[in-house]
């Protein structure tokens, strides 16, 4: 084989490789927010834990009108294993809910199912302890299903709809692909994928990193 043929073949191979890289990098880019364990409470339950008439106080604004409150509680599993300093997210909800990671579930000794936020029927029981009282939830402890918050504009640009399930990839040294990622669309949402601390640690992802939707 003469030098001209070698050069031509080399050029074709390099062009193919570059084309493959370009194809692999196609996808809608989404920033990541790592969600630590937290609690949502009804106003009634806020008062059980902090006293009559107590109102949550705002520490940090979050998307969709939510906020991280200054208030912290202790969550307790069925075997009396506890995790302290768990933050409450406001505003108050119609139903109380505790969101933890799979590692937290093992530590607490509870069988928390993977669920979309708000879907707590038949989920794990948990106790919540505050400075003025304690409450026991027959159900309400879940591992949050990973999801992406989007505005309608972002959803249109990404070619997805509310309730769709997609896969995303983290283009870092781990190269992790997350399947079964649910799309949530609302005018109040800022573009962000939410994963828990277990998922983030396994994939070497931190808040502010990005992933891309691959299908």
pLDDT value at position 20?
Answer: 45
Give pLDDT tens digits for 148-205. Answer: 999 999 999 999 999 999 999 999 999 999 999 999 999 999 999 999 999 999 999 9
Q: Where in the chain is the domain with CATH 2.40.40.20?
A: 28-33+147-213
CATH class of residue range 28-33+147-213 = mainly beta
0.85 exceeded by pTM: no
Angstrom distance (rounded) from CA 143 to CA 117: 9
Cβ contacts of residue 153 below 8 Å, gap of 6+? none
Tokens for 179, please give them: 């399947």
pLDDT value at position 78?
Answer: 83
Rg (alpha carbons) of the chain, rounded to whole number: 22
Of 35-44, 48-57, 62-71, 127-136, the least confident: 62-71
Tokens for 4, please give them: 């001209």
Cβ contacts of residue 205 below 8 Å, gap of 6+? 32, 34, 170, 172, 176, 195, 199, 211
């Amino acid at each position: 084989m003469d030098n001209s043929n070698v050069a031509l073949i080399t050029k074709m191979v390099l062009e193919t490789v570059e084309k493959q890289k370009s194809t692999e990098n196609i996808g809608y880019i989404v920033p990541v927010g790592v969600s630590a364990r937290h609690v949502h409470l009804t106003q009634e339950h806020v008062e059980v834990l902090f006293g009559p008439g107590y109102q949550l106080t705002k520490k940090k604004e979050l998307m969709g009108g939510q906020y991280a409150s200054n208030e912290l509680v202790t969550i307790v599993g069925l075997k009396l294993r506890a995790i302290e300093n768990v933050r409450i997210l406001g505003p108050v909800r119609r139903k109380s809910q505790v969101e933890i990671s799979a590692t937290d579930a093992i530590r607490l000794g509870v069988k928390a199912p993977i669920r979309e936020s708000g879907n707590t029927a038949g989920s794990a029981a948990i106790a919540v302890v505050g400075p003025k009282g304690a409450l026991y939830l027959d159900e309400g402890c879940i591992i949050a299903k990973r999801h992406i918050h989007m505005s309608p504009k972002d959803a249109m640009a990404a070619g997805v709809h509310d309730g769709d399930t997609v896969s995303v990839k983290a283009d870092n040294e781990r190269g992790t692909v997350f399947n079964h990622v649910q799309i949530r669309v609302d005018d109040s949402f800022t573009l962000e994928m939410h994963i828990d601390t277990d998922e983030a640690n396994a994939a070497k992802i931190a808040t502010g990193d990005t992933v891309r939707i691959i299908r």
